[in-house]
Structure 1
Amino acid sequence: MTPKEVRNRKTARRTQQNRIKTGFILILIMSAVLLFFIVRFGYIAASGHVGAVDLSEKTKQIYQQDNVLRARRGTIYDTNANILAEDSNVYTLYAVLDKKSVSAAGKPLYVTDKNKTAQVLSQYISLPADKILQFLSQKNYQVEFGSAGRNLSLDTKQKIEAAKLPGIFFTDTPSRMYPNGTFASHIVGLAQLADTKTADNISTKQLTGILGIEKYFNKALTGKNGSQISKRDSYGYNIPGSKTVTKQAVNGSDIYLSLDARLQSYLEQLMQNVQDKYQPKKMDAVLMNAKTGKIVAATQRPTFNAATKKGLGDLWRDSLVEDTYEPGSVFKLLTLSAAIDSGHYNPNATYQSGSVTIGDSTIHDWNNSGWGTIPFSEVIPRSSNTGAVAIERSMGADIWQQYLNRFHVGQKTGITLPGEASGSIQFKTPLDRAVTSFGQGIDVTVMQMMSYLSAIANGGKMLQPQIIDKTINSQGKVTNYPTKVLGQPITADTAKQVIAAMRDVVEKDYGTGSVFKIDGYENQIAVKTGTAQIAGDDDKYLTGSENYIFSVGGIAPADDPEYVLYLTVQQPDLTDTSAEKIMSEIFNPLMKRALKYRTTSANLDENAIKMPKLTGLTTAEAAKTAQEKGLTVAQVGQGAKIVQQLPAADEKVIAKQRIVLLTEGAMTMPNVVGWSKNDVLKLAEITGCQFKFSGTGYVTSQSLNAGEVLTTNKTITVKLAEP
């Protein structure tokens, strides 16, 4: 064998060996891959997951259709059943542009006439036709129209649908409607869409309370969503004979607040007038029924429009319950109450006003020099700091502290609003105890002050401020919120003596509250004014004549209290006026109107008419029925049948009261000249339209003429004036 043949044989042998090795390696690799797939498929079959994907859930999505049956969120009403917050839907407009989009019958489901479509849509959304045409000229499958095409009302949607424009569609979104705009906004609160899941783990978006009553009672208002589960084939059709499982939704409870829309609206006007005129940094106001603790009207500034969210920004605090501050001289009423009740008060004894030294500190009266030697009966009318200190020292620290505890100073009231603060008190040193007598060294909330004042107005019984009248669940079960007495810190006789001192604040020529006299209610207004310092960032009090929280607490009528009204105004512009004059611009007209309504309410109970059911009747039948009851009819629309009415059937009304009837078809503006604001609010509620008010009293003019079509995307301005 030649050397060449030997080399060839060796090469062939190595080649054969390499082939064997390669084949063996390939067999190992294939066996490993096969084993991996066997293990992988076994794991998938056992676990039902591929990575983070749940295969059973994917299969369920393909062959099972889960629909959420939305529960209706409960409606929030005022005490007279006027709607303050209710469920609604808003709509988003979109256009399909792809010409391949046709129905099974070959009907175009895309925009066929872009110019016509742009012209029609421009009548209903806030975009000109040329801008709409730009959207319609895009190359996308479908387009939306920005903010102009979102949050459309049902009325606008129906009007666009009536034009029968091919390729124009809507998506609906649950929404919350606040028909009164700026109206106790932080109390009523807000509900917004949030991601949630049903009990069957179905994802959905649901309205969730994030502020005020909407937040505090979110669970009760929300109810429980239901579901409908059915089987379907791979084409999306229901499988014949398959069972559909339905779990009905449980609607949320309706909540009736103690607020009276008539007085609340008036308070909002008065507060806004003062805000615009004097530019205070902050204001709070609460009107409460002295006998029940029910809040009749309450608001704050700054505030926001709940319908438009204008002014909301970062303003999420309900200052009536969440903000604490030093109350100042209104707190002297507690000092006097404790001294009288404990037997440490002699109104005829005298003291030296002006200043008093405690340790290394000197306390001055607000005018620095005082009024010489004066009787203790003048401490409250003159608002003497030194007199309050003298009264506190006559009681002693132990007794004073006992009464602070009786009044629950530093404790929450338990009002049904979220985020209530407890306040605090400094009581360690003689100086601490002295300054508490005139409202320093103490932090309170507005609602705590309402509770303290209720004890004086209500014969010594201290009431819990309440904002809820009742709740009614979806089965009709009523839960009432009765008056709650928190304690009796003082006797009825003590309360009468304190009210007498408050009367002197108004009636005596040396009183600090003469500006709070109200015509027609002579000697029936009892008040106490206050001026509290404001702590700065360095824990030192701010200086300057305007850097105070000015306040007034009032009770009326003094001989049989019905109302407690408390106001605070922080750092207003005092260039041409006094703090007391500013507060009187809210206090006097509101208290006068409340006292007037008290008489009206008494007459209502005696002469009440039961509101008939008018919906479903023809316009002629409804008008005749209402007029036979002695009611004044206002008709909205020119339709033949009544579809809505305010007040609702079975509510109490009085003779000549204006009722609003909505007919089928287009809504038209009535002549509202001569109407009260409350009547116009009924019109706003029943139509869903926005109204802007200027002035107070009765309507003198309207921006939309009678007979013109009402639309929800335009604000109607009405001017009011006192008759």
Structure 2
Amino acid sequence: MKLFKSKRSTNAHPARNRKLFGIGLIGFTLLILGGFVLRFSFVATVGEVDSNNLAKQRQKQYRTDTVLQAQRGAILDRTGNVIAEDSNTYTIYAILDKQNKNGDKPDYVTDKAKTAKVLSRYLAISEDKILARLNPTKKHVFQVEFGTPGTKLSLAIKKQIDAEKLPGIHFRETPSRLYPNGVFASHVIGIAQAQDKGGGLTGVMGLEKQFNTVLAGDNGYRRSETDAYGYKLPNAKTKLKTPVNGGTVYTTLDSGLQSYLETLMTDVQTKYEPKALTAVLMNAKTGKILAASQRPTFDASTGEGLGDMWRDSLVEDNYEPGSVMKIVTLASAIQSGKYHPNEYYQSGSVKLDGGTVNDWRTGGWGSIPLSKAFPLSSNVGMVKIEQEMGAGVWKSYLDKFKFGQKTGITLPGETNGRISFAQPLDQAITSFGQGIEVNVMQMMQAISAVSNDGKMLKPQIVSKVVHKNGKETVYKPEVVGQPISKETAAQVIDAMRHVVNDEDGTGVAYKMPGVDLAVKTGTGQIASPQGGYLTGDSNYIFSVAGIAPASDPKYVLYITMKQPQKMTEPAETILASIFKPMMQRALDTTANGTVSKDTNTADVPAVTNAALTTAQDTVKKAGFDVATIGTGNKVVQQLPASGTKALRDSRVLLLTNGAMTMPDLTGWSKSDVLKFVQLTGKKFKLVGDGFVVRQSIAKGTLLGDASGTIEFKQQ
């Protein structure tokens, strides 16, 4: 009986369970549905999902943003000639995939032989090599490029190739910086390179870096709403932000003087192979730098040589200046009243606490007056003068001349320099330029006090900046101190005259007929990593500083040369091969930049971008000879640059948009050949001096990557 009742009770539960389950399911469904309703209500009301704004997401989905690239500002010389400006370069490539079409027309290379023949006229690569690239060994290659000769092509060359209408030939555009003068104060001007995916250019050296915020423009954009196929949506508005182009930097450089200096520097670098070479030409009354260069250097238009030296030696390298420092020692002694020119001293050597100082001439010159110490460049005499001043007075003048401090020139990376002054020996040797480290611009600043009646000028490389908003900042000559008087400056200049005019003076090699010249030479020792100083005839920093005309200074020229590896001539002879022609060229130019009437010079006309025949006629009518490089019909670059002065009947080189071919160089001077090397960016071995008598690459040969030899002989 109990068993029967238990069975009936068990059978009654399923119905009730089903009912409870149904109620629970309905409740759960209503709860989920309520959650969805609340969620949808929240999304509809607030317009956000997981903190993402739906309206903005929709805008992003249908919005198309196009960057409108701003132009980077230009860098100009003092008369407005372009040194650096914005440009685009192009890389050529060829599509080989036969499935690629443009509509119904094939968009691949259909005639490889014809394509190779045509492209060989515009690229520095042979027809055979182009054809080999168009027939790769690998199968299923979609496209090919043509190596270095197919990159960094100008717009002019691109247009010429486009005009040939070759199927499958395309170009990839790259924002770039155009440096039309090639090797031209390269470390001073610097370079700008692409630093981000957007292709924007950023200055990474020199003025390009120093004034990057001025030169860099502000990109704009065009924003519109389109569908998935790129069509503009109905009633959609287009938002436009106009780009703002970068500002302009005007330098103090004179293109004519700068180009000439580069030619002279390259000649010395090629012939004597110094480890370092610097030269700066400055206006003696304003501090404006008219020309400045260094070696090693690089071609800013191609980048060749950039890997060898990134530092601007003029401001970033410290060195012991040697005897040019005696200008400052003598000036300080005269100004302090501690200079006694008629007092005699025993030259040759002098013992000091900590060591012995020797004259460069073994045994010295016997007992001589202190007035002879400067023209003879006697170290012992300078020590005598320093001791009569006293270390305290001498150090005060080093401070007045601002050694150990940056000049503040508008170039990045300038060093402070360093003065060792703890011990009597340290104090003494600073009098002749050892134990003190300077940079080139610090020496230019110090010498300016002598050339400018005692008022010391800050070296100036920028004359004006025009900002993006049109506002101008003008950099005026800046007097940064007056360490000496006008009378002292005149006495120092007179002593510098003796260096070049006295028979036993150390600067006789720099004498220039008809030029009132004041000079001081220098031979600075180089510290050895093992301690002490290096030994050997060439292990010095040789230098010369000159002021002309001495009676009314207009120019200061300072040159340094470190460790010439092929010292086949005396250091003075080597430096004079730059100093004398450079100073003469400067003196032929008046202070305001015009050439004196008695010089046989003329303005180089502007023919870049002109048709070749027109350009040739224009150059000839201006009084110059003309040489053409390349097979094109349009001029893309010229040397000397337009607006500069050059001797009549001298050679003007024109680079065309066609394939770069070898001209007949027979009879060309070395300076003309150096311009040719600079313009083409090709490597040549130059043998001998004088004029070209032989070239290893025949006239008309395509200039590829191979280097050649050019031989010179005196006529």
Fold agreement, TM-score > 0.5 = yes
1:269 alignment partner in structure 2: 263
- 1:526 equivalent among 518, 541, 552: 518
AA in 1 matched with 2:533: Y
Aligned CA distance change for structure 1 residues 28 and 124 (closer, same or farther; 3 Å): farther
1:154 alignment partner in structure 2: 155
2:529 alignment partner in structure 1: 537
Mapping of residues 93-492 of structure 1, within 5 Å: 93-104=92-103, 106-125=104-123, 126=125, 128-135=129-136, 138-195=139-196, 204-473=198-467, 478-492=472-486
- The 8 Å contact of residues 93 and 144 in structure 2, kept in 1 or not, is answered as yes
For 1:316 and 1:639, locate their aligned partners in 2 and report how far apart those are by CA, in whole Å: 35
Deviation at 1:539, TM superposition (A): 3.9
Deviating more after overlay: 693-702 vs 56-65: 693-702
Aligned CA distance change for structure 1 residues 319 and 659 (closer, same or farther; 3 Å): closer
AA in 2 matched with 1:561: P
- 1:601 equivalent among 566, 588, 594: 594
For residues 462-498 of structure 1, what are the alpha-carbon distances to aligned partners after superposition, in whole Å with 9 as ceiling and x for unaligned? 1111122333456766543322211111111111111
- The 8 Å contact of residues 227 and 248 in structure 1, kept in 2 or not, is answered as yes
1:563 alignment partner in structure 2: 555
For 1:722 and 1:44, locate their aligned partners in 2 and report how far apart those are by CA, in whole Å: 91
For 1:573 and 1:229, locate their aligned partners in 2 and report how far apart those are by CA, in whole Å: 61
Deviation at 1:308, TM superposition (A): 2.3
Aligned CA distance change for structure 1 residues 575 and 267 (closer, same or farther; 3 Å): closer
For 2:709 and 2:425, locate their aligned partners in 1 and report how far apart those are by CA, in whole Å: 56
For residues 478-521 of structure 1, what are the alpha-carbon distances to aligned partners after superposition, in whole Å with 9 as ceiling and x for unaligned? 54332221111111111111111111112222222222222x23
Deviating more after overlay: 80-89 vs 394-403: 80-89
Aligned CA distance change for structure 1 residues 161 and 39 (closer, same or farther; 3 Å): same
Mapping of residues 584-663 of structure 1, within 5 Å: 584-598=576-590, 601-603=594-596
AA in 1 matched with 2:341: P
SS at match of 2:487: helix
For 2:655 and 2:351, locate their aligned partners in 1 and report how far apart those are by CA, in whole Å: 74
Aligned CA distance change for structure 1 residues 497 and 408 (closer, same or farther; 3 Å): same
AA in 1 matched with 2:579: F
- The 8 Å contact of residues 701 and 719 in structure 1, kept in 2 or not, is answered as yes
Deviating more after overlay: 224-233 vs 439-448: 224-233
Structure 1 residue runs without a partner (length 5+): 197-203
SS at match of 2:200: strand
For 1:633 and 1:377, locate their aligned partners in 2 and report how far apart those are by CA, in whole Å: 51
For residues 689-710 of structure 1, what are the alpha-carbon distances to aligned partners after superposition, in whole Å with 9 as ceiling and x for unaligned? 668897999999999999x999
For 1:172 and 1:32, locate their aligned partners in 2 and report how far apart those are by CA, in whole Å: 57
For residues 559-579 of structure 1, what are the alpha-carbon distances to aligned partners after superposition, in whole Å with 9 as ceiling and x for unaligned? 222221112222224764432
For 1:550 and 1:257, locate their aligned partners in 2 and report how far apart those are by CA, in whole Å: 29
Deviation at 1:136, TM superposition (A): 9.7
Deviation at 1:39, TM superposition (A): 8.6
Aligned CA distance change for structure 1 residues 236 and 656 (closer, same or farther; 3 Å): same
Deviation at 1:640, TM superposition (A): 12
SS at match of 1:316: coil
For 1:715 and 1:57, locate their aligned partners in 2 and report how far apart those are by CA, in whole Å: 60
For 1:431 and 1:665, locate their aligned partners in 2 and report how far apart those are by CA, in whole Å: 63
For 1:230 and 1:578, locate their aligned partners in 2 and report how far apart those are by CA, in whole Å: 71
For residues 102-151 of structure 1, what are the alpha-carbon distances to aligned partners after superposition, in whole Å with 9 as ceiling and x for unaligned? 345x2333344445444444544436244222249742444444444332
Deviation at 1:630, TM superposition (A): 7.3
- The 8 Å contact of residues 319 and 439 in structure 2, kept in 1 or not, is answered as yes
Deviating more after overlay: 126-135 vs 594-603: 594-603
AA in 2 matched with 1:68: V
2:570 alignment partner in structure 1: 578
SS at match of 1:469: strand
- The 8 Å contact of residues 230 and 238 in structure 1, kept in 2 or not, is answered as yes
For 1:598 and 1:430, locate their aligned partners in 2 and report how far apart those are by CA, in whole Å: 46
For 2:565 and 2:613, locate their aligned partners in 1 and report how far apart those are by CA, in whole Å: 56
1:199 alignment partner in structure 2: none
Aligned CA distance change for structure 1 residues 377 and 621 (closer, same or farther; 3 Å): closer
For residues 331-361 of structure 1, what are the alpha-carbon distances to aligned partners after superposition, in whole Å with 9 as ceiling and x for unaligned? 1111110111111112111122222233242
Please, what TM-score do these two structures have when normalized by structure 2? 0.81
For 2:608 and 2:277, locate their aligned partners in 1 and report how far apart those are by CA, in whole Å: 43
Aligned CA distance change for structure 1 residues 638 and 265 (closer, same or farther; 3 Å): closer
For residues 240-282 of structure 1, what are the alpha-carbon distances to aligned partners after superposition, in whole Å with 9 as ceiling and x for unaligned? 4432222222222233322223332332233233223333222
For residues 71-98 of structure 1, what are the alpha-carbon distances to aligned partners after superposition, in whole Å with 9 as ceiling and x for unaligned? 2222223334443222221112233444
For 1:541 and 1:610, locate their aligned partners in 2 and report how far apart those are by CA, in whole Å: 49
- The 8 Å contact of residues 180 and 681 in structure 1, kept in 2 or not, is answered as no
Please, what TM-score do these two structures have when normalized by structure 1? 0.80
1:505 alignment partner in structure 2: 499
For 2:560 and 2:605, locate their aligned partners in 1 and report how far apart those are by CA, in whole Å: 43
Aligned CA distance change for structure 1 residues 33 and 454 (closer, same or farther; 3 Å): farther
Deviation at 1:99, TM superposition (A): 4.6
- The 8 Å contact of residues 122 and 132 in structure 1, kept in 2 or not, is answered as no
- The 8 Å contact of residues 633 and 658 in structure 2, kept in 1 or not, is answered as no
Deviation at 1:447, TM superposition (A): 0.8
Identical-pair percentage: 49
Deviation at 1:409, TM superposition (A): 1.0
AA in 1 matched with 2:67: V
RMSD of aligned alpha carbons: 5.0
Aligned CA distance change for structure 1 residues 389 and 652 (closer, same or farther; 3 Å): closer
Q: How many correspondences in the alignment?
A: 707
Deviation at 1:422, TM superposition (A): 1.0
Aligned CA distance change for structure 1 residues 41 and 655 (closer, same or farther; 3 Å): farther
SS at match of 2:587: helix
Deviation at 1:407, TM superposition (A): 0.6
Aligned CA distance change for structure 1 residues 366 and 227 (closer, same or farther; 3 Å): same
Residue 73 of structure 1 pairs with residue 65 of structure 2: no
Deviation at 1:625, TM superposition (A): 10
SS at match of 1:537: coil
1:200 alignment partner in structure 2: none
For 1:325 and 1:400, locate their aligned partners in 2 and report how far apart those are by CA, in whole Å: 20
Deviating more after overlay: 449-458 vs 156-165: 156-165
Aligned CA distance change for structure 1 residues 388 and 477 (closer, same or farther; 3 Å): same
For 2:71 and 2:258, locate their aligned partners in 1 and report how far apart those are by CA, in whole Å: 27
Aligned CA distance change for structure 1 residues 680 and 230 (closer, same or farther; 3 Å): farther
- The 8 Å contact of residues 615 and 642 in structure 1, kept in 2 or not, is answered as yes
AA in 1 matched with 2:70: A
Deviation at 1:391, TM superposition (A): 1.0
For 1:511 and 1:630, locate their aligned partners in 2 and report how far apart those are by CA, in whole Å: 44
Aligned CA distance change for structure 1 residues 578 and 100 (closer, same or farther; 3 Å): closer
- 2:545 equivalent among 550, 553, 558: 553
SS at match of 2:306: coil
For 1:137 and 1:205, locate their aligned partners in 2 and report how far apart those are by CA, in whole Å: 32
For 1:124 and 1:638, locate their aligned partners in 2 and report how far apart those are by CA, in whole Å: 8
